[in-house]
Homo-oligomer: A and B are copies of this chain.
Amino acid sequence: MHMTLIKSISEQIPEIEARIRAQLTDKPSLLMTDLEQLIFRGWRNLRPTLTLIFGRMSDADPEALINLAAAIEMLSAATLVHDDLVDVADQRHTGPTINPSFRTSAAVLAGDLAFAAAAQLAAATNWVAVMQKFSETLQFIVSGEITHMFRNGQGVDRDSYYHWIHAKTASLFELACETAILIGTQEDETMSLARQFGYQIGMAYQISNDIRDFSSDTANQEKPIGSSLRQGILSLPAIYYFESHPENPLLHSLLHKNGHSQEDLDGLIVAIRQSKAVERSLDEVRAFGQRGREVLMRLPNTPERAELEQLIGQIITRND
């Protein structure tokens, strides 16, 4: 029974992928190639898998579930494209123009097309309530990005970091879990638990990504170690480090995006990796994972619940 469930979820993933590609094929190809690369580069199957598992739990229509999962990945892609644009524009305050104007226009329009595609797929689920949840999530993501953008020069604390990753990452996990119940049984208690689980697993996932950014395992891939810090973004390991080293002058220069050299950054990244900041961040991943498990214990003991427990376990152990 357990194996059957796994098999059948993994069989549905290619259907979601095909639905996404179908939405992209009739779009102007110059922009869509970029968008497709973005979606499938970041394609980790995690969010669509959550939608499928919760969808099965709520006996949701399989066709609507495919559209729902594809719509969520498309919404994620749209916000990522625009988010990248904001990050890059942000760097331009002091640095050289690394984002030519043509790329700006193309990214704005590619993101807008992805919004249109997300709306179309969400409408294809045939649920008005899904559209409402989508618009609320988009609003939450963008508001979080705005708060983050206007943070410049102000100290970064864990609370604002948590709010920021809730907006940019966990909100889409909440959406992926909650709406799968919404288009099925619509049972209030299950919907609320699904949303809570989405929050916990989404937070654990983002922090685990931020830790991986400081680990050497990922170094020979596309990004250098500490790539977010090099962009001036303080993620959890850096925040923990500066909490214990408030006198470090690099904190001020990072927040104000000036006065530090490449060597300063390299040294700081080594210092963070050797400090207790990584272990403390891992503790946070485990804590979010544990709260996710506690949410699951309030759901009936089914093969689907076992699947979700396994997924949480994978996230907790992926940095070990």
Contact B105 A101 (CB under 8 A): no
Chain B CB within 8 A of A92 CB: yes
- Complex Cα distance, B128 from A97, in Å, reads 43
Dominant SS among interface residues on chain A: helix
Contact A149 B89 (CB under 8 A): no
Contact B119 A134 (CB under 8 A): yes
* Among B102, B104, B146, contact of A31 (Cβ-Cβ < 8 Å): B146
Contact A135 B147 (CB under 8 A): no
How many residues of A sit at the interface, in one of the four size bands? 35 or more
Surface stretch bound by B, among A43-51, A110-118, A195-203: A110-118
Contact A82 B101 (CB under 8 A): no
Chain B CB within 8 A of A311 CB: no
Contacting residues, chain B, for A123 (C-beta < 8 A) = 128, 131-132, 135
Contacting residues, chain B, for A27 (C-beta < 8 A) = 139, 143
Contacting residues, chain B, for A253 (C-beta < 8 A) = none
CB-based nearest B residue for A126: B128
| Nearest chain B CB to A237 CB, angstrom units | 25
Known contacts A97-B97, A105-B149; 11 additional CB pairs below 8 A are A27-B139, A28-B150, A31-B146, A86-B109, A89-B102, A90-B101, A109-B149, A115-B138, A116-B136, A119-B138, A128-B128
